[in-house]
């Protein structure tokens, strides 16, 4: 019974940690490499593991460890073949990103009672040892990062420096698909709110306030299909008072709408180029000249009428 309980606890902790592990693509091949081509299938499993964990595997963590040693001498030597074919720099970046993911998990785990090192699943123990040498050092860094979230100047600076999202005078707006690409402090800021209120059904945009410790989740149901989607509702949580505020826009006659949708996305998003193309055309046609008036559906439609234009999907046409 005790063994089963421990297994269940390890599975729970592993799942929690995986929630903060961002999606990372494998580095592309940079140059021809004979050994890589000869052992591509064997090396593929090793590449997948290092991209997932940010470190080399222990022998029992990868199914073809013996075959890798037979073919290439050792796992470190096998990985050097991968680095030769793909370049070393991106793998170093992946290691840094996975270390950040681990800090995010450890920082947010403080709210539920951070587990002892011995309670962590073995892969997570090995992550900590590889990235930080010791669990105490990892927790120290995670706490420092977590406490920085309470400094408004830190959040404001992180918002202003962010290459992801749309910056306004009072907030940074990011599509849900891009939150993993935020800086560690902003990921923790958003994670504190999500840890308190949970997943907000229907929300697909995150608003990170620059002026107060508030995170809001916004719903734009037609974000992908409507060139200028309307706001359906917002749910915000204040991270000092923990007051939650819901605003329902479904009964509004004149809904707030979005412009420049590509700015909310990471450049790798499959719709980024499509949205950016429409924005360039709208800018060229002078539709953003009176920015204060086009933030609502009626104001935007008046701007289109004044230019003799209309939208059909993501195409801007003349009347």
Residue 240 CB contacts under 8 Å (≥ 6 apart), including other chains: 213
Whether residue 9 is found in the same domain as residue 135: yes
Whether residue 290 is found in the same domain as residue 170: no
Whether residue 244 is found in the same domain as residue 286: no
Whether residue 192 is found in the same domain as residue 65: no
* CA contacts within 13 A on the Cβ side of 292: 0
Residue 92 lies in a domain: yes
Whether residue 17 is found in the same domain as residue 76: yes
Whether residue 44 is found in the same domain as residue 138: yes
Q: What is the pTM of this model?
A: 0.86
Residue ranges of alpha helices (H) inside the chain are: 2-18, 34-38, 40-53, 65-72, 75-86, 89-109, 122-132, 135-148, 152-161, 184-197, 272-284, 297-307
Structure tokens at 65: 């460890």
Whether residue 6 is found in the same domain as residue 122: yes
Whether residue 277 is found in the same domain as residue 216: no
**Burial of 282: CB neighbours in 10 Å, binned 0-12, 13-18, 19+:** buried
Specify the 3-state DSSP secondary structure of 253.
coil
Structural domain including 187 reads 152-248
Angstrom distance (rounded) from CA 128 to CA 137: 9
Whether residue 49 is found in the same domain as residue 172: no
Domain boundary among 108, 124, 145: 145
Angstrom distance (rounded) from CA 181 to CA 275: 19
Structure tokens at 240: 């000092």
Structure tokens at 75: 């796992």
Domain tally, the chain: 3
152-192 confidence digits (pLDDT tens): 999 999 999 999 999 999 999 999 999 999 999 999 999 99
Residue 133 lies in a domain: yes
224-220-195-266 Cα dihedral, nearest 10 degrees: 40
6-51 confidence digits (pLDDT tens): 667 778 877 778 888 888 889 998 888 889 999 999 999 999 999 9
Residue 238 lies in a domain: yes
pLDDT (tens, 9 = 90+) of the chain, 319 residues, equals: 566 566 677 788 777 788 888 888 899 988 888 899 999 999 999 999 999 999 999 999 999 999 999 999 999 999 999 999 999 999 999 999 999 999 999 999 988 889 999 999 999 999 999 999 999 999 999 999 999 998 999 999 999 999 999 999 999 999 999 999 999 999 999 999 998 888 899 999 999 999 999 999 999 999 999 999 999 999 999 999 999 999 999 888 899 999 999 999 999 999 999 999 999 999 999 999 888 889 999 999 999 999 999 899 999 999 8
Residue 138 lies in a domain: yes
């Amino acid at each position: 019974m005790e063994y089963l309980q421990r297994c269940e606890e390890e599975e729970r902790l592993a799942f929690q940690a995986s929630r903060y592990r961002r999606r990372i693509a494998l580095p592309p091949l940079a140059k021809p490499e004979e050994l890589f081509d000869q052992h591509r299938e064997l090396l593929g499993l090793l590449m997948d593991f290092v991209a997932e964990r940010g470190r080399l595997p222990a022998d029992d963590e990868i199914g073809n460890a013996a075959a890798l040693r037979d073919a290439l001498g050792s796992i470190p030597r096998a990985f050097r073949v991968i680095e030769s074919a793909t370049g070393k720099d991106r793998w170093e970046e992946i290691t840094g990103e996975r270390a950040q993911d681990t800090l995010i998990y450890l920082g947010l785990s403080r709210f539920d009672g951070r587990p002892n090192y011995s309670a962590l699943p073995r892969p997570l123990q090995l992550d900590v040892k590889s990235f930080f040498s010791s669990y105490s050092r990892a927790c120290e860094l995670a706490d420092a990062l977590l406490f920085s979230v309470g400094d408004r100047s830190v959040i404001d600076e992180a918002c202003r420096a962010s290459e992801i999202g749309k910056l306004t005078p009072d907030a940074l707006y990011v599509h849900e698909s891009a939150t993993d690409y935020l800086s560690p402090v902003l990921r923790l800021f958003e994670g504190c709110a999500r840890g308190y209120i949970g997943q907000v059904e229907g929300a697909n945009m995150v608003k990170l306030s620059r002026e107060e410790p508030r995170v809001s989740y916004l719903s734009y149901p037609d974000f992908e299909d409507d060139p200028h989607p309307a706001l359906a509702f917002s749910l915000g949580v204040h991270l000092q008072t923990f007051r939650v505020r819901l605003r329902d826009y479904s009964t509004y006659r004149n809904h707030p709408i979005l412009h420049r949708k590509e700015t909310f996305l990471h450049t790798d998003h499959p719709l980024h180029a499509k949205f950016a193309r429409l924005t360039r055309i709208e800018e060229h046609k002078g539709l953003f000249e009176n920015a204060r008036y086009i933030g609502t559906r009626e104001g935007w439609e008046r701007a289109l009428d004044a230019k003799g234009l209309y939208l059909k999907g993501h195409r801007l046409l003349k009347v």
